[in-house]
Amino acid sequence: MRILFVRPPVPPHTIGLKHIMICEPLELEYAAAGLEGHELQIMDMIIEKGFTKRLEKFKPDVVATSCYITGVNEVIKLCRETKLWNRNCLTIVGGTQASQVPEDFADPAIDCIVKGDGTSMMPEIIEALENGRSLTNIAGLAFPVGPGEVELTAGKAYMPKADDLPLPRRDLVAHLRHRYYYLQHQPVATMKTTWGCWYKCNFCYTWRITDGHPYSRSPESIVKELEQIQAEDVYIVDDIFLINRSRLRKLADLIKEKNIRKKYLVYARADFIAENEDVIAEWAALGLHAVFIGLEAATNSELDSMDKESTVDYNRRAIEVLRRHKIDTYGSLIPNPEYSKEDWERLWNFIEETGLYYVNISPLTPQPGTVIWDLYKDRVTVPREAHGLWDFSHVLLPTQMPLKKFYRNLMKLYAKTVLNISRAKRLTQRTLPSVWTWKYFRMLLGAMKIGRQFLNAHNHHSSKELKRAMYKGPEVPGLVYRPRSNQPVSIKSKSLVSIQPAVEAE
């Protein structure tokens, strides 16, 4: 079969990372990894254009795509465009948002929603299609049956043992390898060694996707992949990579034994860094250049309100440990929509006192599927269907200060932190390129583009812009939802009738 995997473009209203990073579509590389004997292509629409032309040229039997919350409408547009091209082409949607909130994809142009690990489930789906078997017998799927409604097949564990997964198919985007970067890290390869998380922060649903059970690869499996990665810079995208001392020590030994030389960007918790400086020292010698830390806040009361299980003291100590070993801190901060002028000043003082340069500042966003969703869902000021604004940059809750002023304070904090060249030279360790290089200019230009977006962000809340953000593309004439089951039970547990590709109205 011919299977086209597609990463959707970034929505026009979405603010942020698209201007300072484009990383490889690792989730699609994994989804393609188990499909031997088929014609496969990956189209990365953050970089590539011409989806309809690709359909006409490749003539896929299946189009598979995935996204985070911001990309839901873009995914629906792609599936609708696919059905306009050929209604017999099966459309499959997966990814973290599909796993946690499958009803977001309840559109008649979508045939099948994967709620689990695509690497292990795609071969099962394709085999069923080839043999004429109903997809409804496959556990871990969902099917749209009405607006905002899906019916689920039987439940199953999120994924098999992590070491049982094949390695991602990076060869399918080899022609784009030179286009992928993160800030000044280029070329950069992304890598995953753990799915899920050990902690239960109430603003995050990563731990819920895997039912609170993390799946981690062995050091031997990780080294096997590292040996095959061509890029010098490796971005390990686990929510927490630096967490298990024994695993990290064993992995370090194997990296030394294999004489693997890379530059690593990883995620870690502040408390682990503060309490395990010997591990940090060892990894600094191996090539650890930057660590992303969810600092989140400058007060313990804010951290407690997030169920962070950490403290501001740990935040400060972690930054100091990394600085001692010449490792850059990439810190994330979550200002509350109720911030006053004094709160913004306190956050700036924390940034200055700790010497942070690289920061990601994301207003508190209560995503569906998180613990705090039920607490905030009735206060959300942006429609759920305006997915492009759910980007952790737009503020979605009522603000204490005027909305425009809130965005101005957010933008000013970014500007004072990252647009100051003297701060950059004084505070960065290993990762800042010369200010006279293209990489630095690109990073600065990207930061200015983000600033421009924040200048206009308050306008995105107008009825006109919200309507644009909610647009899902032209509907497919005559296409209707799947038939419902005859059992009047909840959406989360309905059994299904046999499903085939899209049904046309008579």
State the chain's mean pLDDT as an integer: 93
Q: Answer yes or no: is 169 within a domain.
A: no
Instruction: For residue 70, give the DSSP letter.
Output: G
User: Rounded to an integer, what distance in angstroms lies between the CA atom of residue 304 and that of residue 284?
Assistant: 31
Q: 212-226, 360-374, 379-393, 435-449 — which is least confidently predicted?
A: 435-449
Whether residues 135 and 14 fall in one domain: yes
Whether residues 458 and 481 fall in one domain: no
- For residue 506, the model assigns a pLDDT of 35
User: Rounded to an integer, what distance in angstroms lies between the CA atom of residue 352 and that of residue 359?
Assistant: 12
Q: Domain holding 80: CATH number?
A: 3.40.50.280
Rounded to 5°, the CA angle 271-276-277 comes to 115
* pLDDT confidence bin for 235, thresholds 50/70/90: very high
- For residue 422, the model assigns a pLDDT of 86
Determine the average pLDDT of the residues in 64-87.
98
365 pLDDT higher than 60: yes
Whether residues 152 and 26 fall in one domain: yes
What distance lies between CA 256 and its chain's CA centroid?
A: 31
504 pLDDT higher than 50: no
Say if CB 100 and CB 205 are below 8 A apart. yes
Rounded to 5°, the CA angle 404-407-411 comes to 135
Determine the average pLDDT of the residues in 358-371.
96
Nearest CA to 446 out of 9, 22, 131 is that of: 22
CB contact set of 297 (below 8 Å; sequence gap of 6+): 303, 306, 308, 312, 333, 334
Whether residues 265 and 401 fall in one domain: yes
pLDDT digits (tens, 9 = 90+) for 296-318: 999 999 999 999 999 999 999 99
Whether residues 459 and 482 fall in one domain: no
Q: What is the percentage of the chain residues whose pLDDT exceeds 70?
A: 95
pLDDT digits (tens, 9 = 90+) for 434-462: 767 888 788 888 888 898 999 999 999 99
Determine the average pLDDT of the residues in 17-24.
90
487 pLDDT higher than 70: no
Residue 375's CB is within 10 A of a number of other CB atoms, namely 11
Residue with tokens 């030389």: 261
276 pLDDT higher than 80: yes
Q: 76-85, 194-203, 361-370, 494-503 — which is least confidently predicted?
A: 494-503
Nearest CA to 196 out of 296, 278, 117 is that of: 117
DSSP H or E segment with residue 264 = strand 263-268
Domain range enclosing 112: 2-159+476-504
Burial of 88 (0-12, 13-18, 19+ CB in 10 A): exposed
- For residue 503, the model assigns a pLDDT of 42
Residue 114's CB is within 10 A of a number of other CB atoms, namely 25
Half-sphere exposure of 285 (CA within 13 A, CB side): 11
Whether residues 147 and 199 fall in one domain: no
Say if CB 226 and CB 260 are below 8 A apart. yes
Residue with tokens 């142009």: 109
Buried b / exposed e along 41-73 (16+ C-beta atoms within 10 A): bbbbbeebeebeebbeebebbbbbbbbbbbbbb
Pairing of strands 215-216, 233-236: unpaired
Phi, psi of 267 (to 5 degrees): -105, 150
* pLDDT confidence bin for 334, thresholds 50/70/90: very high
* Tokens encoding 256: 């030394």
Q: Is the peptide bond before 474 cis (omega within 30 degrees of 0)?
A: no
pLDDT digits (tens, 9 = 90+) for 127-156: 999 999 999 999 999 999 999 999 999 999
User: Rounded to an integer, what distance in angstroms lies between the CA atom of residue 34 and that of residue 294?
Assistant: 33
Half-sphere exposure of 310 (CA within 13 A, CB side): 26
Q: Answer yes or no: is 171 within a domain.
A: no
User: Rounded to an integer, what distance in angstroms lies between the CA atom of residue 222 and that of residue 167?
Assistant: 10
3-state secondary structure 257-277: HHCCCCEEEEEECHHHHHHCH
Whether residues 30 and 152 fall in one domain: yes
- For residue 176, the model assigns a pLDDT of 97
Residue 8's CB is within 10 A of a number of other CB atoms, namely 25
- For residue 429, the model assigns a pLDDT of 81
- For residue 244, the model assigns a pLDDT of 97
Say if CB 493 and CB 142 are below 8 A apart. no
* Tokens encoding 425: 């030279």
Query: How many separate domains does the chain show?
Result: 2
Residue 373's CB is within 10 A of a number of other CB atoms, namely 16
Whether residues 249 and 145 fall in one domain: no
CB contact set of 49 (below 8 Å; sequence gap of 6+): none
Whether residues 248 and 366 fall in one domain: yes
Whether residues 109 and 228 fall in one domain: no
* pLDDT confidence bin for 483, thresholds 50/70/90: confident
499 vs 34, higher pLDDT: 34
Nearest CA to 482 out of 189, 113, 210 is that of: 113
Residue with tokens 């979550």: 334
* Tokens encoding 298: 């400058």
500 pLDDT higher than 50: no
Q: Answer yes or no: is 108 within a domain.
A: yes
* pLDDT confidence bin for 103, thresholds 50/70/90: very high
Q: Answer yes or no: is 80 within a domain.
A: yes
- For residue 485, the model assigns a pLDDT of 63
Say if CB 83 and CB 91 are below 8 A apart. yes
Q: Answer yes or no: is 245 within a domain.
A: yes
Whether residues 496 and 394 fall in one domain: no
Q: 69-83, 281-295, 443-457, 473-487 — which is least confidently predicted?
A: 473-487
Whether residues 50 and 197 fall in one domain: no
Q: Domain holding 217: CATH number?
A: 3.80.30.20
Half-sphere exposure of 504 (CA within 13 A, CB side): 9
Q: Answer yes or no: is 164 within a domain.
A: no
- For residue 501, the model assigns a pLDDT of 43
Say if CB 50 and CB 57 are below 8 A apart. no
- For residue 17, the model assigns a pLDDT of 80
97 pLDDT higher than 80: yes
Q: Answer yes or no: is 470 within a domain.
A: no
CB contact set of 124 (below 8 Å; sequence gap of 6+): 138
Torsion angle of C-alpha atoms 136, 141, 143, 147, degrees rounded to 10: 160
* pLDDT confidence bin for 419, thresholds 50/70/90: confident
CB contact set of 309 (below 8 Å; sequence gap of 6+): 199, 271
User: Rounded to an integer, what distance in angstroms lies between the CA atom of residue 477 and that of residue 482?
Assistant: 15
Determine the average pLDDT of the residues in 74-93.
98
Q: Answer yes or no: is 363 within a domain.
A: yes
User: Rounded to an integer, what distance in angstroms lies between the CA atom of residue 251 and that of residue 191?
Assistant: 15
